[in-house]
Chain A
């Protein structure tokens, strides 16, 4: 039995080594070996996700209670919930056919409506209000206190934050005044603020790109260590 597990581990290591090399071949371009590795990876990932969904969702929430009901037992979540779940599942499956797709709209509406309500409520409570308060909090709380280095630093940081927030929001304001003869144009102040906002947005995108590069660099380092360790293990026998 242990030999079987060890064989699977060895096979897994070998497959991981081969597919890592195939992916790294992308350095030579979009070659067929790279495509083969990507297609296999997508297929395995989708199959694994489906297997997990069947095991962790469909079976415990739908199949097992139905079997329990057919066997004379009582579903854990109650008969009403089971019937409701079955109805929604059936309606959602009707989306597969173009003729009966309209019958699946109620189930889709439940999904979209509940999801939108949850997302909006969370965004207001968790993002909009806290981020607004955080942007304000960089200004010194006390007024009239003696200015020291910390207070000057906090004041400068607050002004920087104010300029960054206002100019970034101004960049995404696309309203324009109506000219008499010319095409609608943004006002001069709005153009200036949007130019400043572009600078802050560029810095933000640069930071995000640097993070993506760091993540890719970390993944490459981890794969290089894996390849070297695996190769060393095979060479060592």
Chain B
């Protein structure tokens, strides 16, 4: 690979650039015959920078000897130099700086600068012992001082604009015009020589300074400290509220990095030293701080719970002979009172006919107004244990329904209900038609569904195979399509489910309850009142006897009526005698109280 000769940069310049350069050289050096300080600085070789080719530095050769005495500088430049020398001499006299400081730049190896620029740098440099935030190099390269060193360097039109701008700024801000920077102890470095100012201007400047100083002091005094609103105060960072260093408190020495790239830095986030500290966690007291009122309530609650935890021990004391005799005496009286009418099959007691209860009368009237062939739903909701009572109570009602030609549909939410319904109908004297819809699983939820959509609920139920498809039940779409709903129940909860789920869903169909005597008191409120959802009520053997008396039929209630009447009379007699005996033997009660009290 052949070596190429060095390329001449001058040859690579375009013609128009060469022409432009020639014109600049003629303008600067030919016509004015002046020296540019930047050219001289540019020509000075800097350390570390390659020397420019000879062709490039050739045009500046005549000016390299700016210090050459043979070429005499122009008069205006000599005036500036003289004035600067006078100023330097005056400052040296004030600071005591030795004369030899001028050659420091040369001794340090820096590029040689023109004398006037060195002097200017030394003039602008801060005095010894005073720190400045500006870097020295940037300060040296600040062009403003050199631009404003002399009023002579500025054209007259520019000087006038500058003075007017300074005055306008001072008037607008209300503050005196401050120089770009100051040197010395508050002494302003004016951009022009004060010696050239007229006397009247100096006097005015002194008066103005005297007026400004008190105004500044007054303004500082009138300034009130800013008050932060609460919401803004709350948003302050914790560092703003809690100072990092409290005066008077000894500050912990900041760690200084000794190794690594951060060596020598202070306040570096510690990594290993803090993590590596292990110690026992602080112990906190687990004692509950409760007030006196809280402790009193807690003691009361604890006492209540303690009473609940105490299980009373059953006293297994064998009954005394007197108690045994009394027990058998009461049982014998009641059994004899019942056995006599049962064994003799007597029917001496007349059935109650006069002034029947409202529920029985209402039930009779409702059934009596039924049309022949009306579908009547009969819910068999009782247990086998109460079948005897319910059969006596409902026998006359079902007999009346069949007499009126109603078609009965049996339904039950209890597994034993369908069989009990079949047995119940066997006891009815009058024969009639019925459909056993079977067992409806689901309790009250199934009842709610049956009330609105019985065909959906009973679509798969098996019984006798007919279900709601029986000819008498084909018109049934909801529970309201039945002519009447009769519920036979011994449980008040089950009867209430029928009232709440089915009774509320029916508008025109009456709901009749045939209940056991133990459920009647709790269901009677649904019959009484103006908003009674139950339209008819028959309760127990007494209700059945009343109904048979009203309807003129003879059923189970009539058979049981003598025994029922005698049994109730015997019961009342036993209660009366027992009460009298208890009242005649008060000492026994007192002894019992004494035992009870002593047992506590």
B460 close to chain A: CB less than 8 A: yes
**Given known A-B contacts A219-B385, A222-B388, A27 and B564 have beta carbons under 8 A apart:** no
Whether B392 lies near A222 (C-beta < 8 A) is yes
With known contacts A127-B496, A133-B529, A137-B530, A222–B444 Cβ distance under 8 A: no
Q: Are B444 and A119 in contact (CB under 8 A)?
A: yes
Once the chains bind, are A215 and B517 in contact (CB under 8 Å)? yes
Alpha-carbon separation in the docked complex, A114 to B443 (Å): 12
As a 0/1 sequence over residues 427 to 445 of chain B, the CB contacts with chain A under 8 angstroms (1 = contact) are 0000000000011010111
B567–A115 touching, CB < 8 Å: no
A interface footprint on B479-513 (CB within 8 Å = 1, 0 otherwise): 00000000000100000110111011000000000
Q: Tell me whether A74 is interfacial, beta carbon within 8 Å.
A: no
**Contact of A57 with B441 in the complex, beta carbons under 8 Å:** yes
In the complex, B338 has a CB within 8 A of chain A = yes
Is A32 interfacial (CB 8 A cutoff)?
Answer: no
| Per-residue B-contact encoding for A120-153, CB less than 8 Å = 1, 0 else | 0011011101110111011000000000000000
Check A56–B497 contact: CB distance below 8 A.
no
Q: Which residues of A contact B416 (CB under 8 A)?
A: 45, 48-49, 52
Q: Which of A87-95, A101-109, A204-212 faces chain B? A: A204-212
Selected contact of B388 from candidates A114, A178, A223, CB within 8 Å: A223
Within 8 A of B (CB), among A212-230: 212-215, 217-226, 228
- Is B296 in contact with A183, judged by CB distance below 8 angstroms? yes
User: Which residues in B have their C-beta under 8 angstroms from that of A224?
Assistant: 338-339, 342, 563
Q: How far is the CB of A61 from chain B (nearest CB, A)?
A: 6
Which residue in B418, B443, B533, B542 is a CB contact (below 8 Å) of A52?
A: B418
Complex Cα distance, B461 from A178, in Å, reads 60
| Smallest CB gap from B297: residue in A | A184
Interface centre among B293, B338, B415, by most chain A C-beta atoms within 10 angstroms, is: B415
- A217 to B297 alpha-carbon distance, docked (Å): 50
A53 beta carbon closer than 8 Å to chain B:
yes
Q: Of A27, A76, A125, A138, which contacts B500 at CB under 8 A?
A: A125
Given contacts A126-B504, A218-B560, A222-B389, contact A118 B445 (CB under 8 A): yes
- Whether the Cβ atoms of A114 and B445 lie closer than 8 Å is yes
- Chain-A contact segment, one of B97-105, B145-153, B363-371, B520-528: B520-528
- Beta-carbon contact of B444 and A115 below 8 Å: yes
A77 at interface by CB-CB < 8 Å: yes
Whether B517 contacts A130 by the Cβ 8 Å rule is no
Interface positions, chain B 542-563, Cβ under 8 Å from A, are 542, 556, 559-560, 563
Q: Does A55 contact B (CB under 8 A)?
A: yes
Asked whether, in the complex, the Cβ of A218 is within 8 Å of the Cβ of B541, the reply is yes
Taken together as a complex, chains A and B put the C-alpha atoms of A208 and B492 apart, in Å, by: 11
Could you say which of B459, B501, B521, B531 contacts A130, with CB atoms under 8 Å apart? B531
A225-B529 Cα distance, complex, nearest whole Å: 39
Contacts of A77 in B (CB 8 A): 459-460
Among A56, A133, A217, A221, the residue within 8 A (CB) of B441 is A56
Given contacts A56-B462, A125-B504, A131-B525, contact A221 B439 (CB under 8 A): no
Contact B415 A215 (CB under 8 A): no
Cα(A182)–Cα(B21), bound, Å: 112
Contact of B438 among A45, A56, A61 (CB under 8 A): A56
Query: Does any Cβ of A come within 8 Å of B377's Cβ?
Result: no
- Check if A118 sits within 8 Å of B501, measured CB to CB: yes
Say yes or no: is B326 at the interface (Cβ < 8 Å to chain A). no
- Complexed CA–CA distance, A209 and B539 (Å): 15
Q: Is B532 on the interface with A (CB-CB < 8 A)?
A: yes
Bound-state CA distance A134–B439 (Å) is 34
Q: Does more than half of chain A's interface fall in helix, strand or loop, or is it mixed?
A: helix
Tell me if A213 and B461 are in contact (CB < 8 A): no
Binary CB contact string for chain B from 194 to 211 against chain A (1 if under 8 A, 0 otherwise): 000000000000000000
In angstroms, how far is the closest chain A Cβ from the Cβ of B360?
Answer: 16
Q: Does B343 have its Cβ within 8 Å of any Cβ on chain A?
A: yes
B514 CB → nearest A CB, Å: 13
**Bound complex: CA of A204 vs CA of B399, how far in Å?**
33
A208-B522, A225-B559 known; A215 vs B540 contact (CB < 8 Å): yes
Q: Which residue of B lies closest to A224 (CB)?
A: B342
- Pair B516/A211 contact, Cβ less than 8 Å: yes
- List the A side residues contacting B542 at CB < 8 Å: 214
Are B462's CB and A55's CB within 8 A? yes
Candidates B388, B415, B519; contact of A221 at CB < 8 Å:
B388
0/1 interface trace, chain B 315-337, chain A, CB 8 Å (1 if under): 00000000000000001000000
Contact B415 A52 (CB under 8 A): yes
Q: Cβ of B60 < 8 Å from any Cβ of A?
A: no
Instruction: Report the minimal beta-carbon distance from A41 to chain B, rounded to whole angstroms.
Output: 9
**Do A115 and B441 touch (CB < 8 A)?**
no
Q: Which residues of B contact A183 (CB under 8 A)?
A: 296, 300
List A contacts of B388 (CB < 8 A). 218-219, 221-223, 226
Q: Is the CB of A53 within 8 A of B444?
A: no
Q: Is the CB of B500 within 8 A of A222?
A: no
Decide if A60 is an interface residue (CB 8 Å cutoff).
yes
A12 to chain B, nearest CB (A): 11
* Across-interface contacts of B539 in A (CB, < 8 A): 211
Which chain B positions have C-beta within 8 A of A123?
A: 500
Q: Considering the chains assembled together, what is the distance between the CA atoms of A119 and B388 in angstroms?
A: 30
User: Chain A, 16-44, contact with B by CB distance < 8 Å: what is the 0/1 string?
Assistant: 00000000000100000000000000000
CA gap between A118 and B450 in the complex, in Å: 13
Residues of chain A lying within 8 A (CB to CB) of residue B563: 221, 224-225
Q: List 20 A-B contacts (CB under 8 A).
A: A56-B439, A61-B460, A114-B445, A115-B443, A118-B501, A122-B497, A126-B496, A126-B533, A130-B526, A130-B533, A184-B297, A210-B517, A211-B519, A215-B517, A215-B540, A217-B564, A217-B567, A221-B342, A221-B564, A222-B387
| Apart from A208-B522, A213-B571: 17 A-B pairs, beta carbons within 8 A | A45-B416, A57-B441, A77-B460, A115-B444, A118-B501, A122-B448, A122-B497, A126-B496, A184-B300, A204-B521, A208-B518, A211-B516, A214-B568, A217-B568, A218-B517, A218-B541, A222-B392
B residues contacting A by CB (< 8 A) are 293, 296-297, 300, 331, 338-339, 342-343, 384-389, 391-392, 415-416, 418-419, 438-439, 441, 443-445, 448, 459-463, 490, 496-497, 499-501, 503-504, 516-522, 525-526, 528-533, 539-542, 556, 559-560, 563-564, 567-568, 571
CB-based closest 6 A-B pairs: A222-B388, A134-B529, A126-B500, A122-B500, A214-B517, A218-B389
